[in-house]
């Protein structure tokens, strides 16, 4: 187990926050592109893996195919393309071992605040100790220094999932469970379960629980687009067999990136035919008399929100078998025995699962200061989706919301490493993006999901033109990040010796 010594020996060149898929990926790029740099990965929990370790609900799996959700530098070899959490965690642990990241991950340490010192050209990072040992008490805070912060802290609050205020919830005599806080010993065998929600979590849970429960009902207010996809990608698996893991994986990635792009663009450009095709696919997998138009007909267009994938049509299979069903309606109140809907329907339940989402939170809720002044994130603008205006030496890992998150993280890491190389060569010690205050801005994420909409006014903004856009397309990011300029009119590089007031942009 790595100790605090790695943190306290002196300024780290880079402090990576979070040992999820983003932080581990950043560790790889630092190891390979900047082997002489000192860095540590601070992880607030006692394990690596982030999302893929936190969620413990039955069936927890990816929505994305792992040929694109995996790292560019590490082939995904498992035959499952839509993979369950244990397989993703195995892959991440392999990545940790292959890059000897165990030597640099410090667990149970949470960054609670970071404060940039312009005079020292350093971040002062307040670290909260989440565990105890013979020399320290849980809750002790200590301060460490780092030249750069790379924040791989994900996008939601780990402490608490989102549950709306349901009227009468206190009357319900059964058990209410949120998927983010799944009791590992929850016994649902032979029980009546209602899952509230229609997102990726609900459509994963319902078929996964259906074989054990007496019955499971998915209760949704608004339907989502649900697409059946094979769990195994036979073409990719064949390519890996014939061409070898490395080449087969590289080709599978290109194939799937192209596939995702085509589907996304077609849905956005031709929403009506796309809607018809999805409806026909759903109807073909559902019983003949099933009310497809009530339960699988969202009021928005395909890809205005993320589509839900069901591997091998498992949700449809459970509905066909009669072990699962869907109700679409509004809740009037929870009752002693379940839920009463506005149309008078009563749903009996022993267990109610509130698959109602996440609380969006950036940077683990950390306080970000520059020379002691707290930065109002909503007044910052994202630069190339990697930095925020006015915050020096700070990189953030926010991936795609319309395709695999990781596709963007790899490109961000490449740009970040090129920036470090340039700064070493030119002996600059800091860089910040400077936004024109008159620049038009728009919300950081163009995404209609509830958890995004609830948080938009607290989030940074994006501009309307490159390099200030938060692009959601690999091809645009290849231009903006892989090939993008490291020096431009918006980047203010500085050297330690130059006082802040007199420093000029390069």
Ligand X SMILES: Cc1cc2nc3c(=O)[nH]c(=O)nc-3n(C[C@H](O)[C@H](O)[C@H](O)COP(=O)(O)OP(=O)(O)OC[C@H]3O[C@@H](n4cnc5c(N)ncnc54)[C@H](O)[C@@H]3O)c2cc1C
Number of residues near ligand X (by CB under 6 A): 32
Half-sphere exposure of 486 (CA within 13 A, CB side): 16
Which sign, positive or negative, has the C-alpha torsion 417, 421, 424, 427?
negative
CB of 491 to ligand X, least distance (A): 24
Taking CB under 6 A as the rule, does residue 14 contact ligand X?
Answer: no
For ligand X, the closer of residues 54 and 210 by Cβ is 54
Q: Which of 27, 50, 70, 223 binds ligand X (CB under 6 A)?
A: 50
Alpha carbon 137 to chain centroid, angstroms:
32
From residue 350 to residue 379, what is the string marking binding to ligand X with x (rule CB under 6 A)?
A: --------------x-x-------------
Taking CB under 6 A as the rule, does residue 42 contact ligand X?
Answer: yes
Taking CB under 6 A as the rule, does residue 65 contact ligand X?
Answer: no
Q: Which of 158, 394, 415, 493 binds ligand X (CB under 6 A)?
A: 158
CA–CA distance, 431 with 254 (Å, rounded to integer): 33
Stretch that binds ligand X, among 16-24, 190-198, 240-248, 497-505 (CB under 6 A): 16-24
Q: Which of 64, 356, 389, 462 binds ligand X (CB under 6 A)?
A: 64
For ligand X, the closer of residues 51 and 256 by Cβ is 51
For ligand X, the closer of residues 112 and 337 by Cβ is 112
CB of 251 to ligand X, least distance (A): 20
CB of 84 to ligand X, least distance (A): 11
Taking CB under 6 A as the rule, does residue 161 contact ligand X?
Answer: no
Q: Which of 29, 69, 123, 394 binds ligand X (CB under 6 A)?
A: 69
Contacts of 401 (CB under 8 A, 6+ apart): 306, 445, 447, 449, 452, 472
For ligand X, the closer of residues 152 and 460 by Cβ is 152
Helix axes 85-98, 21-33, angle to 10 degrees: 20
Q: Which of 14, 51, 384, 396 binds ligand X (CB under 6 A)?
A: 51
Q: What angle do CA 361, 363, 368 make, to 5 degrees?
A: 115
Q: Do 2 and 106 touch, CB atoms closer than 8 A?
A: yes
CA–CA distance, 35 with 53 (Å, rounded to integer): 28
CA–CA distance, 261 with 408 (Å, rounded to integer): 14
CB of 73 to ligand X, least distance (A): 16
CA–CA distance, 418 with 423 (Å, rounded to integer): 9
For ligand X, the closer of residues 421 and 453 by Cβ is 453
Which sign, positive or negative, has the C-alpha torsion 386, 400, 474, 469?
negative
Rounded to a whole number of angstroms, the CA Rg of the chain reads 24
CB of 276 to ligand X, least distance (A): 26
CA–CA distance, 234 with 253 (Å, rounded to integer): 13
For ligand X, the closer of residues 20 and 223 by Cβ is 20
The closest of 264, 262, 358, 272 to 306, measured between CA atoms, is 264
From residue 82 to residue 121, what is the string marking binding to ligand X with x (rule CB under 6 A)?
A: ----------------------------xx----------
Taking CB under 6 A as the rule, does residue 404 contact ligand X?
Answer: yes
Binders of ligand X in range 175-214 (CB under 6 A): 200-201
Q: Which residues pair with 144 in a beta bridge?
A: 125
For ligand X, the closer of residues 121 and 406 by Cβ is 406
Contacts of 96 (CB under 8 A, 6+ apart): 19, 24, 27, 48, 102, 105
Taking CB under 6 A as the rule, does residue 323 contact ligand X?
Answer: no
For ligand X, the closer of residues 143 and 284 by Cβ is 143
Taking CB under 6 A as the rule, does residue 385 contact ligand X?
Answer: no
Q: What angle do CA 395, 401, 404 make, to 5 degrees?
A: 85
CA–CA distance, 51 with 158 (Å, rounded to integer): 9
Instruction: Using CB under 6 A, list all residues that contact ligand X.
Output: 17-23, 42-45, 50-51, 55, 62-64, 69, 110-111, 152-154, 158, 200-201, 364, 366, 397, 399, 404-405
């Amino acid at each position: 187990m790595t100790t605090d010594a790695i943190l306290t020996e002196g300024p780290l060149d880079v402090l990576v926050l979070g040992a999820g898929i983003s932080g581990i990926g950043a560790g790889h790029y630092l190891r390979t592109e900047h082997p002489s740099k000192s860095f540590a990965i601070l992880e607030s929990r006692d394990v690596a893996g982030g999302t893929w370790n936190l969620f413990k609900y039955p069936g927890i799996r990816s929505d994305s195919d792992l040929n694109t959700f995996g790292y560019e530098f590490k082939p995904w070899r498992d035959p499952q393309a839509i993979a369950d959490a244990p397989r993703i965690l195995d892959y991440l642990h392999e990545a940790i071992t292959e890059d000897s990241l165990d030597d640099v991950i410090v667990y149970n340490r949470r960054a609670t605040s970071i404060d940039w010192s312009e005079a020292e050209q350093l971040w002062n990072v307040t670290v909260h100790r989440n565990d105890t040992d013979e020399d320290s008490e849980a809750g002790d805070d200590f301060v460490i220094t780092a030249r750069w912060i790379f924040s791989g802290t994900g996008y939601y609050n780990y402490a608490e999932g989102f549950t709306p205020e349901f009227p009468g919830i206190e009357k319900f005599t059964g058990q209410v469970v949120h998927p983010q806080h799944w009791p590992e010993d929850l016994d649902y065998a032979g029980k009546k379960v209602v899952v509230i929600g229609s997102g990726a979590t609900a459509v994963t849970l319902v078929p996964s629980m259906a074989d054990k429960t007496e019955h499971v009902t998915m209760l949704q207010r608004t339907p989502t687009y649900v697409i059946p996809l094979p769990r195994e990608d036979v073409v990719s698996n064949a390519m890996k067999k014939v061409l070898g893991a490395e080449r087969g994986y590289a080709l599978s990635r290109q194939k799937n990136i192209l596939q995702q792009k085509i589907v996304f663009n077609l849905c956005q450009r031709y929403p009506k035919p796309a809607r018809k095709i999805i409806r026909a696919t759903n109807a073909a997998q559902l019983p003949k008399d099933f009310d497809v138009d009530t339960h699988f007909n969202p009021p928005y267009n395909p890809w205005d929100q993320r589509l839900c994938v069901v591997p091998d049509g498992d949700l449809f299979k459970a509905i066909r078998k009669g072990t699962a069903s869907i109700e679409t309606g509004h809740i009037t109140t929870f009752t002693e025995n379940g839920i009463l809907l506005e149309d008078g329907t009563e749903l009996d339940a022993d267990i109610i699962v509130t698959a109602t989402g996440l609380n969006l939170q950036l940077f683990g809720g950390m306080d970000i200061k520059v020379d002691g002044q707290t930065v109002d994130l909503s007044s910052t603008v994202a630069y190339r989706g990697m930095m925020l205006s006015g915050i020096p030496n700070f990189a953030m890992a926010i991936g795609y919301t319309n395709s695999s998150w990781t596709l963007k993280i790899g490109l961000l890491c490449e740009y970040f490493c090129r920036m470090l190389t340039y700064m070493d060569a030119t002996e600059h010690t800091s860089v910040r993006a400077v936004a024109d205050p008159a620049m038009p801005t728009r919300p950081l994420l163009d995404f209609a999901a509830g958890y995004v909409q609830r948080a938009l006014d607290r989030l940074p903004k994006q501009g309307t033109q490159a390099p200030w856009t938060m692009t959601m397309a690999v091809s645009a990011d290849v231009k903006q990040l892989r090939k993008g300029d490291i020096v431009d009119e918006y980047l203010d590089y500085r050297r330690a010796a130059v006082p802040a007031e007199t420093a000029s942009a390069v």
